Amino acid sequence: MFAHDRWYVVALSSEVTAAPLGRTVLGENVVLYRTTGGRPVALADRCPHRRFPLSLGRLDGDLLVCGYHGFTFDCEGTCVAVPGQEQIPGRARVRSYPLVEQGVWTWIWMGDPEQPDHGRLPVTPWLVDGADWRVVTSMAPLQARYMLLIDNLLDLSHETYLHAGYIGTPEVAATPIETDVDEEAGIVRVNRHMQDVECPPFYSRSTGIEGRIDRWQDIEYFPPGYYLLHSRIAPCGVAPSADGTDAEAFHMKISYGITPSTATSTYDFWAVSRDFAFDDAEISDHLYKLNETVVQQDVNALNVLEKRVSRDPDPFELNIKIDRGGLAARRMVERIVQSEG
Amino acid sequence: MFAHDRWYVVALSSEVTAAPLGRTVLGENVVLYRTTGGRPVALADRCPHRRFPLSLGRLDGDLLVCGYHGFTFDCEGTCVAVPGQEQIPGRARVRSYPLVEQGVWTWIWMGDPEQPDHGRLPVTPWLVDGADWRVVTSMAPLQARYMLLIDNLLDLSHETYLHAGYIGTPEVAATPIETDVDEEAGIVRVNRHMQDVECPPFYSRSTGIEGRIDRWQDIEYFPPGYYLLHSRIAPCGVAPSADGTDAEAFHMKISYGITPSTATSTYDFWAVSRDFAFDDAEISDHLYKLNETVVQQDVNALNVLEKRVSRDPDPFELNIKIDRGGLAARRMVERIVQSEG
Amino acid sequence: MFAHDRWYVVALSSEVTAAPLGRTVLGENVVLYRTTGGRPVALADRCPHRRFPLSLGRLDGDLLVCGYHGFTFDCEGTCVAVPGQEQIPGRARVRSYPLVEQGVWTWIWMGDPEQPDHGRLPVTPWLVDGADWRVVTSMAPLQARYMLLIDNLLDLSHETYLHAGYIGTPEVAATPIETDVDEEAGIVRVNRHMQDVECPPFYSRSTGIEGRIDRWQDIEYFPPGYYLLHSRIAPCGVAPSADGTDAEAFHMKISYGITPSTATSTYDFWAVSRDFAFDDAEISDHLYKLNETVVQQDVNALNVLEKRVSRDPDPFELNIKIDRGGLAARRMVERIVQSEG
């Protein structure tokens, strides 16, 4: 059901603080906190004594103290104190999870903690809110299986209907897509290049473009947990230069961290990165609120869909051309899960 | 569990509008809407593409557009548009359900859509709010299996206890009943004729009768989904004339549409029809509020009972004379269900 | 899962009135009420007619009338009236449960109603709010299996963490315990005698002691349903006299009635009895509010723990010395349950 030997977004980096934070990833309970030195830590969120969630405890320096009987653990998950006796039993330890903090998101490795595969970690320089990119980000809890979110994101024709008035216009659903499945690299690409179309509110207000636009949506999906939409907005007819520069266009990278929580719930992390209007807090605020609304529209729809799907004895679904990307994504995820045995 | 080759009340006719309405009948999700020409339409509430409820979509003229990716259906359930391509796949269609609108209630046929049996549709002229009858109606959702509502309605001795101060008086429980089970016609009749009894608030205020009354409760139950209570209220000792006229008495017909939603939930449609005080809106209002309260008393009790029954390993129930009607009703419903195989 | 041939606290005595009260004990639905003569009565909370809860009915003198169809029962559970007929069917009766009222708590016998074993009823003179003891008491519903509450109460080292600032101080967890398991008498004793320690707010305000104290916690657990904490607070170094008198110390008895409701819910009855400051209503109020808060802290923690335990496929728990009492308690309860077959 889940691919374990992978990295998933486990938290906004700003959520990892001295106050322990509980998350459930691939059905495993994890507690996150940040040391006084600034290092993020992830441990199994289950005291070995009486199974109490360590996330309900508190930090004592860099040590995590269980809120029930005071069992105390260091950053590697080794127990260093128990109540009423000096001797620490040898089995008193909890699993520790490898973490990598990359800008606004912190990633967790859910496979063998001794062998995190850093080659599988998505490279995301646009998630560093700094000199090159301005980023807004948040997370919405979703009461639906993660495959429904993948389906949703790989087929943006839904923008026309679910997100009308925000990012959807009639042209999105009407414009055919190009799908490219790179089995070797393990990437699904879906491109939709719209010429001379309406500019939806999401972009008109943030770019200041008036009138009609060329609008490119180039999706890259890195199974199972990372989705990247390269969005290019330009005045009609303006193409990138032969040397690759594209000064008249506006670029955004819209990232989704798709993190399965349980069999029927998911963390829907999102970030909008832009390479313009760096110091305009109003545009940051606008993009934040608008994308938050758009994500919530998806969440509301998928929460309903999960209830339907989970009770529906008939698995039949009708596939058309727009579903090529989503179907390829499903197959890749299933293949990864199966390959783990 | 359910009888399918039957008509059920699916909606108040006033609920069927240009805004799609979702209902679950016999466990099947149905979407209802009304065409610009005024015709009620019922389709399966499941887009064949990704199973999204069509009831969350919107009408485009008389076409129903899915709110997720825009698959579009006509009133017969045939798909007429899909996103990103011209060609419509042959399997893109949803089931259509036969409907009949009879006055304030709209009925749905849950059997083979090609062969609705109109002979099985209850004849209900008193549900037309017009020259002959004045009708108030509503629906209460019930979190209980439909058999509990049938049990409830077939044994009105509960009025004395559950509805004391509304329609119940001590004489209801105390007066013996006559039960007539017409196996051939498939009707259960339960009559209770009370002479010289107290007049409960439900009737005293609406009829204006002062003092004691004769009160007849003549039930006809048409399994599985329609229940009709002929209520006659008259001054003490006043009988119908030999020619059938009954000018000094007040008549009401109290209808219940018992529509199973899921295994443990039911739509409790009700209507109170009267043949007097046609233009007295205050009496309409009084009867509406009072019956709404009475129905809610039943709903509250049956919601509790469902929880008990569903967890009770002991099926034992003690039957007495007042249960003859209810037991006959149970048997008839079970026989219909079994006859469908 | 449950020990039946035992007494359990079923209600605060003040809860048993002329208004029927429904409780679920060991999964059985029970209705409680008090006769006009003051006798508490417990019957099965299920009308034999249509399974409606009798606790939703009302009293007619000392008779309990079902709120659905009016079946009426006397204090022994014998049906004395049914609607619409004179004859009472022989099987129209409900089970009656033996009760004993001991001061502020009323106990129920859940075994064979013909053979209540009064020798198994805990002796609790300190639960009589009278000449010898002043008592405050209440009950908190717990959404957790009763074994989690037993675990909790047998290991008071959790006071330091879960109840810091109320009854917990660092010394509780730090002080070793003595555990005594009396298999023959069926009692688990856990003693923790703290010398020269901090006085927590619970005791400082109620006793008026200033400065450091000797604090004894002597637990006696009578499986499965009664737990008694003998608490002794004295100025540092003050010991009981050789003749047993102990005039300078303050004594409290803190009782818990642990009553399983369902497999995953429990009634957490508690009482604090003191032998000082009899007429000080402010101290009563203080102890009530403080213990109510402490109990709610336990309830909140155990509600969380129940969710974790019920979903945790891994039963592993690490035991240390402080767990000796809790483990002995578990074994005794399991032995009692098994002995009943």
Residues of C in contact with B175 (CB under 8 A): 84
Residues of B in contact with C67 (CB under 8 A): 161-162, 301
Q: For chain B, list residues whose CB is within 8 angstroms of any CB belonging to chain A.
A: 29, 46, 48-53, 56-57, 65-70, 82-85, 89, 91-92
Weakest mean pLDDT among A46-50, A62-66, B311-315, C305-309: B311-315
Rounded-to-integer distance, Cα A281 and Cα A286, Å = 8
Residues of C in contact with A84 (CB under 8 A): 157, 173-177, 320-322
pLDDT tops 90 at residue C264: yes
Residue A270 forms part of a structural domain: yes
pLDDT 10s digits, C112-126: 999 999 999 999 999
Q: Give the pLDDT confidence score for residue B293 in this predicted structure.
A: 97
Residues of B in contact with A322 (CB under 8 A): 69, 83-85
Confirm if A28 and A135 have CB atoms less than 8 A apart: no
Residue C285 forms part of a structural domain: yes
Rounded-to-integer distance, Cα B179 and Cα B218, Å = 10
What single letter denotes the amino acid at residue C69? H
Residue C167 forms part of a structural domain: yes
Residues of A in contact with B53 (CB under 8 A): 304, 308
For the record, the structure tokens of C191 come out as: 């003693």
pLDDT 10s digits, C165-178: 888 888 888 898 99
Is pLDDT larger for residue C315 or for residue B256? B256
- Containing C114, the helix (H) or strand (E) segment is none
Rounded-to-integer distance, Cα C49 and Cα B327, Å = 13
pLDDT 10s digits, C59-100: 999 999 999 999 999 999 999 999 989 999 989 999 999 999
Test A50 with C317 for CB contact under 8 angstroms.
Answer: yes
Same domain, B235 and B314: yes
Q: For chain C, list residues whose CB is within 8 angstroms of any CB belonging to chain A.
A: 151, 155, 157-158, 160-162, 173-177, 301, 304-305, 308-309, 312, 316-322
Structure confidence at residue A162 as a pLDDT band (50, 70, 90): very high
Same domain, C95 and C227: no
Q: Give the pLDDT confidence score for residue C203 in this predicted structure.
A: 84
Q: Which domain CATH number covers A100? A: 2.102.10.10
Residues of A in contact with C301 (CB under 8 A): 52, 56, 67-68
pLDDT tops 90 at residue C51: yes
pLDDT 10s digits, B181-236: 999 999 999 999 999 998 888 888 888 888 899 999 999 999 999 999 999 999 99
Residue C243 forms part of a structural domain: yes
Quote the number of domains for chain C: 2
Residues of A in contact with B56 (CB under 8 A): 301, 304
Same domain, A202 and A282: yes
User: Interface partners of A (3+ CB pairs, < 8 Å)?
Assistant: B, C
Same domain, A186 and A309: yes
Same domain, A214 and A319: yes
User: From residue B340, how far is each of B258, B334, C119, C281 by CA, in Å?
Assistant: 19, 10, 60, 71
Residues 6+ apart with CB under 8 A from B174: B160, C83, C84
User: Interface partners of B (3+ CB pairs, < 8 Å)?
Assistant: A, C
Test A301 with B52 for CB contact under 8 angstroms.
Answer: yes
Per-chain mean pLDDT for chain C: 95
**Looking at residues B293-316, what average pLDDT do you find?**
95
Residues of B in contact with C46 (CB under 8 A): 308, 312
pLDDT 10s digits, B274-301: 989 988 999 999 999 999 999 999 999 9
Q: Report residue A2: phi and psi, to 5°.
A: -120, 150
**Which chain B residue lies closest to C92 (C-alpha atoms)?**
B318
Confirm if A170 and A160 have CB atoms less than 8 A apart: yes
Q: For chain A, list residues whose CB is within 8 angstroms of any CB belonging to chain C.
A: 29, 46, 48-53, 56-57, 65-70, 82-85, 89, 91-92
To the nearest whole angstrom, how far is the Cα of A112 from the nearest Cα of chain C?
18
Residues of B in contact with C77 (CB under 8 A): none
pLDDT tops 90 at residue A144: yes
> Quick one: DSSP state of residue C185?
T
Q: Exposed/middle/buried for C167, CB within 10 Å: 0-12, 13-18, 19+?
A: buried
Instruction: Suggest the residue from C158, C159, C217, C297 to mutate for an interface test with chain A (most A CBs closer than 10 A).
Output: C158
Residue C1 forms part of a structural domain: no
Rounded-to-integer distance, Cα A171 and Cα A153, Å = 17
pLDDT 10s digits, C27-50: 999 999 999 999 999 999 999 999
Rounded-to-integer distance, Cα A189 and Cα A218, Å = 7
Test B157 with C29 for CB contact under 8 angstroms.
Answer: no
Test B161 with C70 for CB contact under 8 angstroms.
Answer: yes
pLDDT tops 90 at residue A313: no
Same domain, A52 and A132: no
Answer with the one of C67, C93, C120 that is the final residue of a domain. Answer: C120
Residues of C in contact with A57 (CB under 8 A): 161
Domain coverage including residue B159: 125-339
pLDDT 10s digits, C192-208: 999 999 888 888 888 88
Same domain, A32 and A12: yes
Same domain, C76 and C89: yes
Nearest-CB residue to A305 (from B52, B70, B82): B52
To the nearest whole angstrom, how far is the Cα of A27 from the nearest Cα of chain B?
26
Segments in chain B forming alpha helices (H): 146-154, 159-162, 170-174, 201-207, 281-311, 324-339
Q: Give the pLDDT confidence score for residue A210 in this predicted structure.
A: 82
Instruction: Suggest the residue from B175, B179, B308 to mutate for an interface test with chain C (most C CBs closer than 10 A).
Output: B308
Within 13 A of A228's CA, how many CA atoms are on the CB side?
A: 18
R_g of chain C, CA atoms, integer Å: 22
Nearest-CB residue to B305 (from C52, C57, C89): C52
Structure confidence at residue A241 as a pLDDT band (50, 70, 90): very high
CB pairs under 8 A between A and C: 71
Q: Give the pLDDT confidence score for residue C227 in this predicted structure.
A: 98
Residues of B in contact with C82 (CB under 8 A): 320
Nearest-CB residue to C83 (from B157, B309, B316): B157
Answer with the one of A100, A120, A140 that is the final residue of a domain. Answer: A120
Same domain, B75 and B134: no
**Looking at residues B43-57, what average pLDDT do you find?**
98
Confirm if B274 and B252 have CB atoms less than 8 A apart: yes
**Looking at residues A33-61, what average pLDDT do you find?**
98
Same domain, C229 and C262: yes
Residue B1 forms part of a structural domain: no
Q: For chain B, list residues whose CB is within 8 angstroms of any CB belonging to chain C.
A: 151, 155, 157-158, 160-162, 173-177, 301, 304-305, 308-309, 312, 316-322
Q: Which domain CATH number covers C326? A: 3.90.380.10
Nearest-CB residue to B317 (from C29, C49, C83): C49
Q: Exposed/middle/buried for A173, CB within 10 Å: 0-12, 13-18, 19+?
A: buried
**Which chain B residue lies closest to A317 (C-alpha atoms)?**
B49
To the nearest whole angstrom, how far is the Cα of A158 from the nearest Cα of chain B?
4
Rounded-to-integer distance, Cα B248 and Cα B241, Å = 10
Same domain, A182 and A313: yes
Q: Give the pLDDT confidence score for residue B341 in this predicted structure.
A: 80
Answer with the one of B99, B120, B141 that is the final residue of a domain. Answer: B120
Residues of A in contact with C316 (CB under 8 A): 48
User: How much of chain C exceeds pLDDT 90, in percent?
Assistant: 85
Residue A2 forms part of a structural domain: no
Instruction: Suggest the residue from C145, C157, C161 to mutate for an interface test with chain A (most A CBs closer than 10 A).
Output: C161
Nearest-CB residue to A173 (from B29, B46, B84): B84
Test C320 with A53 for CB contact under 8 angstroms.
Answer: no
Same domain, A63 and A174: no
pLDDT 10s digits, A70-124: 999 999 999 999 998 999 998 999 999 999 999 999 999 999 999 999 999 999 9
Q: Report residue B51: phi and psi, to 5°.
A: 70, 10
Rounded-to-integer distance, Cα A24 and Cα C307, Å = 13
Test C308 with A91 for CB contact under 8 angstroms.
Answer: no
| Three-state secondary structure call for residue B337 | helix
pLDDT tops 90 at residue C211: no
Structure confidence at residue C291 as a pLDDT band (50, 70, 90): very high
pLDDT tops 90 at residue A205: no
Rounded-to-integer distance, Cα C336 and Cα C7, Å = 13
Provide the ipTM. 0.94
pLDDT tops 90 at residue B145: yes
Residue B2 forms part of a structural domain: no
To the nearest whole angstrom, how far is the Cα of B58 from the nearest Cα of chain A?
10
To the nearest whole angstrom, how far is the Cα of B90 from the nearest Cα of chain A?
10
- pTM reported for the whole predicted model: 0.94
